[in-house]
Amino acid sequence: MNNFSRRSFLRSCSGAIGLASVSPVHQSYALSKNGSKVKPIKGSWFEFQHHNQPEGKYWNQTCASFSCKQWETKVKETAEIGMEYLVLMNTALYFKAFYDTTIFPKFEIGCDDPIEAILTAGDKYGVKFFIGGGFYGKWDSPGIISDPDAAKKRKIAIAELAERYSHHKSFYGWYWPNEAAINPYFKDHFIEYVNGCSEEARKYTPEAKTLIAPYGTRLAVPDDTFVKQLDTLDIDIIAYQDEVGVRKTQVHESAAFYEGLRKAHDRVSRAKMWADMEIFEFEGEVYRSALIPAAFSRIEKQLEAVSPYVDTILVYQYQGMMNKPDSEAFAGHPDSTVLYSDYVAWLNTFHPKMVKNL
């Protein structure tokens, strides 16, 4: 499987890398080392602006100028390669908002209402959005979870977002983005934060799903204490970060971490267990340089590692790391077309029904 490089794919397909022109090599399925089916990528994080400016070097400025039509195109691209879920990272950032709100002034960007644009696109193309209900303060402050002003704004924003956008079919759920590390358990104040957010959201959107994506996956101890915490968390889905991109975990280690967490989740019939798989690497120093696409040879191994243990695989993130060649909404590193083409080649080989022309 690892020989599905871009060059070998182009040779086998006579240079065709467009979505419609790729033909499946055969209809079998990729298998992990234990013989289980390797799952495809079913969704991604999504954003109008990346919170860490050095990391967003290759797409922040471009995305700021996107028209509403280009945001629709970006959603369409993800649907074309079988992505069912998109997680909107933030609805506000740096004390500005991406919608008309009473809590912050509005971002001046190319699309007047980008949230409306992407949800309308989600309705059209069958994509389900988790809407980020956080970052209503200094996004990288360790105290943002308990900061009373941020908490007050969070409640107001949840009500506003629900009133303005929850009529969309694509408004599938909420994402609580102010994450905290597992080391080796969830902190009590994080559990209180999650439960409070979920309680608030249910007032306005009782059917909406809720999602968190914790880090510290390698440090989790999935014992009785951890299981009890899972039982107290009022959350529908936990997508654990594999932390390969941030260089905290080696690919060959991750399967063991997810296997332990799977056993813990199987003891509690509450939250579904998903993966938040990192498809990037850093151009230089971690957290202080640009995110760039990882090689698909590495990403394929990540998929193999987590597939046996999770229900669904999300990635961080399509935006910036993957671009359809000749996209009218190109945003990201130049090599993002290579990763896109390599993944589509793999997808056409092992999950061909997921690739669509929309």
Domains with residue ranges and CATH for the chain: 6-354 (3.20.20.80)
What is the rounded average pLDDT of the residues 10-21? Answer: 35
**pLDDT by residue (tens digit) across 271-320?**
999 999 999 999 999 999 999 999 999 999 999 999 999 999 999 999 99
Percent of the chain exceeding pLDDT 70 equals 90
Bridge-based pairing of strands 280-282 and 291-293 is: antiparallel
pLDDT value for 12: 34
pLDDT value for 32: 60
Greater confidence (79 vs 144) lies with 79
Report the predicted TM-score, pTM, of the whole model to 2 decimal places.
0.90
For residue 88, give both structure tokens: 């909107």
Q: Measure Cα distances from 282 to 46, 114, 288, 292 in Å.
A: 18, 28, 8, 6
pLDDT value for 6: 32
- Which residues neighbour 358 within 8 Å (Cβ) at sequence distance 6 or greater? 76, 79, 80, 125
Q: Measure Cα distances from 112 to 61, 106, 142, 164, 326 in Å.
A: 16, 9, 31, 14, 25
Residue 4 pLDDT > 80: no
Distance CA 223, CA 263 (A): 9
pLDDT value for 14: 33
- The amino acid sitting at 3 is N
Q: Which of 207, 216, 205 is nearest to 166 (CA)?
A: 205
pLDDT value for 156: 97
What is the rounded average pLDDT of the residues 9-23? Answer: 35
**Confidence band of 145 (pLDDT split at 50, 70, 90):** confident
Q: How many helices (H) and strands (E) does the chain have?
A: 11, 12
